[in-house]
Amino acid sequence: MDRSLKQKSASAYLYPPIDPFDQRTLDVGDGHTVYVEQCGNPAGIPVVVLHGGPGGGCSPAMRRYFNPEHYRVILFDQRGCGRSRPHAAVSNNTTWHLVRDIELIRETLKIDRWIVFGGSWGATLSLIYAQTHPDRAAALAIRGVFLMTQLELDWFYGGGAGRFWPDLWDRFTKLIPEDEHGDLIAAYHKRLFSGDMMQEIKYARAWAAWENALAAIDSDGVTGESPADYARAFSRLENHYFQNQGWLDHDTAILNRMDRLAQIPGVIVQGRYDMICPPISAYRLSQAWPMSTLKLVGRAGHALSEPGISAELVRAMDRFAAQRASLGL
């Protein structure tokens, strides 16, 4: 499969572009409004798409992983990013606020149960949401697994990934005085929330560039400069969540609660050479989740746009569509 995938882009495996049939902003309380859209078949299988970051926002490409004849696709921008407001805001913005927002969206759209689809931080949020509301999650499709553990944060912000990309790691760390290198998340936090807009944008672009450069397996390390608004929201929200360990009560909280998903089927799609979220987390998750199937994709990194990852995700969603009756949807 890898040889043929090298000759195709991810778009070759996706369904054609579609436009939403419904777009709205939802008041979720706490001074926040959240952008929500629906596309596909209004009578189709409901699936909620949880984007990465935190702070990444959803994109039109995310609509294309689902057969529009079979699926009712719900996408939304999480608090503080994309078209949600206030922009780049971290007040009243925690994992548990997002879980409540997902439930409010489900109730507002009068959906009883749905499939949950998410990647990277979206995979984290998918698992936490399903563990909190297992009666509402009919199945999960997740990609690029991140379990919000200190080991994962140390890998990416403590020098692990930097051993493979020393030139980019040097660029990321040299903006910070050496005596603060022991905790780069805290060091960037200080600057991303300094109150000086120009400084915040400078450090936001550096934070985003470090991650973006390592996302794809064929990356040469060169990334364009992110737009200021996007970089600031993405970096502030991501740093805010990591600084607070996702508001989980202990380091292995997700793995320790996998019994709550014992009856829920899932597909885990993971790039073999994911530099941002190494495959060990996906493997450990699969071991703790008997109802899951792990698909390790060779010659693939972290990005949703990797051809092999896109192909596996579309196959997974096509299989779930064929199982609509057994899933109770």
Active site residues: 120, 274, 302
Q: Quick check: bond before 20 cis, omega within 30?
A: no
Q: How far apart are CA 265 and CA 236, in angstroms?
A: 34
Distances (CA, A) of 83 to 121, 148, 229: 18, 25, 11
Asked whether the beta carbons of 115 and 329 are under 8 A apart, the reply is yes
For residue 225, the tally of other CB atoms under 10 A from its CB is: 9
Please name which of 278, 274, 275, 315 lies closest in space to residue 293, comparing C-alpha atoms: 315
Torsion, CA 25, CA 143, CA 284, CA 219, rounded to 10: -120
Which one, of 276, 264, 207, 197, lies nearest residue 235 by Cα?
Answer: 207
Query: Is residue 108 within 8 Å of residue 75, measured between CB atoms?
Result: no
Determine the residue type at 232.
Answer: R
Give the tokens for residue 322.
């064929």
What is the end-to-end Cα distance of the chain in Å, rounded? 32
